[in-house]
Amino acid sequence: MPPIEAILAPLEAELKLSRQEIAKLQDDNRALDRLTKSKEAALLEAERTVQVALAKASMVDDLQNKNQELMKQIEICQEENKILDKMHRQKVAEVEKLTQTVKELEEAVLAGGAAANAVRDYQRKVQEMNEERKTLDRELARAKVTANRVATVVANEWKDANDKVMPVKQWLEERRFLQGEMQQLRDKLAITERAAKSEAQLKEKYQLRLRVLEENLRGSSNSFSRSTSVGRSTSNGPSRRQSLGGAENFSKISSNGFLPKRSPSSQLRSSLSSSTVLKHAKGTSKSFDGGTRSLDRAKVLLNGAASNVSVNHPSEGIKESDSTSSEKSNDFQPVDTEDNVPGVLYDLLQKEVIALRKAGHEKDQSLKDKDDAIEMLAKKVETLTKAMEVEAKKMRREVAAMEKEVAAMRVEKEHENKARRFANSKGPAAQLLTGRCF
């Protein structure tokens, strides 16, 4: 038997070798554990970086989608801005056209006013000369009538009361005088008709201009509410009625429809009072007020002259008749005769005079109505021009607000482009880091 030591020695050597191998294996195991732990930590970090990259990628996708939506909105806003620019240009052109038309109308009104002033001055001078000539003619005719009456009185002194008749010569003189006054009234009526025609033409022009302005305003903006209730101005009414007193008093004739028989002295008094009214009317019509009142003042001249035959108030007519009767009694005290004119002719003359007065009064009323209509049209034109100015201001404000919004959108777009560039530059760096980690 071999000894035990000889048997144990190789076993111990093997045991030592196995222990050394176990120690090496433990060291290797520890190193592997360390490697696995480090790799696990690297994997965790890689997962975190991948999650961060995925989150950033999703954010980039969202930002790209938002950017595309904003680009679409910017394109839509640019198209709207172009449309608004076109509309603004059209409205500016319309406003310029309207301002030009308003300037042309103002120039035409001013030119017409200057021409009307010059024509009115010449007409006033000619009318004054005609009035002086007519007054002289009337005084001459009245002198002839008084001479004829004196002759008739002298001739009828020896006759009876039944045989006293106005001579034919005197009747013809008075008939010629009354026919002259009737012709004067006819001339005045023709002048008023001409003025009415010119006023109607002016009214048609204003109506046409108003229609054009309303069509332009309706086409430009449907949202604008026009104020069409414009009250009539009553500031010029009393002055017109005062200046047209001679024409308005035509209705103040006596209830039987006939004029009282007047002596030459009473006719002279009425002509002098009417000449003072005419001068007062001419004095009131010296200033031109824009074209609408010049026609009224022309009517004042006509109606003031027309008051040569009419009496302003019944009380004044009674006073004049009383004064003329007293003068007749003082001048012809020994004679108590009245004018004997054929009744049919006198009635016809009175009816014709009354008809002419009524026609003149109707013409004056129509002219007043036309003046009011012209004033209303002028006020409507002014309101339309003001509305167009207000609308132009609104459009300017809207365009300025749109420009501000576009500028803000451009700034936002620049910021988004910068953020996108920064994100795009940061993406490759993150990918490089993840590649290195793996």
With respect to residue 266, please indicate whether it lies within any of the assigned structural domains.
yes
Do 268 and 374 lie in one domain? The reply is yes
Residue 316 lies in a domain: yes
Q: 65 and 170 share a domain? A: no
Query: Is 3 within a domain?
Result: no
User: How many angstroms separate the CA atoms of 298 and 195, rounded?
Assistant: 8
Determine contact, residues 405/77, Cβ cutoff 8 Å: yes
Task: Express as a percent the part of the chain with pLDDT over 90.
Answer: 15
Residue 51 belongs to a domain: yes
428 and 346, same structural domain?
A: no
Residues 358-373: tens digit of each pLDDT: 888 888 888 888 888 8
Does residue 6 belong to any structural domain of this protein? Answer: no
Rounded CA-CA distance 108/102 in Å is 10
Query: How many residues belong to the chain?
Result: 438
Closest CA to 184 of 286, 294, 304: 304
Q: Confirm whether 11 is domain-assigned.
A: no
User: Do the domain assignments include residue 226?
Assistant: no
In this structure, the answer to whether residues 61 and 190 fall within a common structural domain is no
Read off the pLDDT of residues 70-120 as tens digits, 9 standing for 90 and up: 999 999 999 998 999 999 999 999 889 988 988 888 888 888 777 778 888
Does 229 map to a domain? no
- In this structure, the answer to whether residues 140 and 289 fall within a common structural domain is yes
Q: Are residue 22 and residue 152 in the same domain, yes or no?
A: no
**Least-confidence region, from 55-59, 112-116, 284-288:** 284-288
Looking at the fold, whether 166 and 39 belong to one and the same domain comes out as no
Condensed to tens digits (0 to 9), the pLDDT of residues 189-227 reads 889 888 888 888 888 877 777 777 777 677 665 544 444
pLDDT greater than 90 at residue 9: no
Question: Does the structure show a pLDDT above 80 at 233?
Answer: no
Same domain, 319 and 358: yes
Q: How far apart are CA 228 and CA 230, in angstroms?
A: 6
Structure tokens, 329: 């009694």
Range of the structural domain that residue 143 is part of:
84-221+234-398
Position with higher pLDDT, 285 vs 401? 401
Same domain for 408 and 360, yes or no, is no
pTM of the model: 0.24
Is there a single domain that holds both residue 269 and residue 124?
yes
- On whether both 330 and 421 belong to a single domain, the answer is no
Number of domains in the chain: 2
Are 88 and 32 in a shared domain? Answer: no
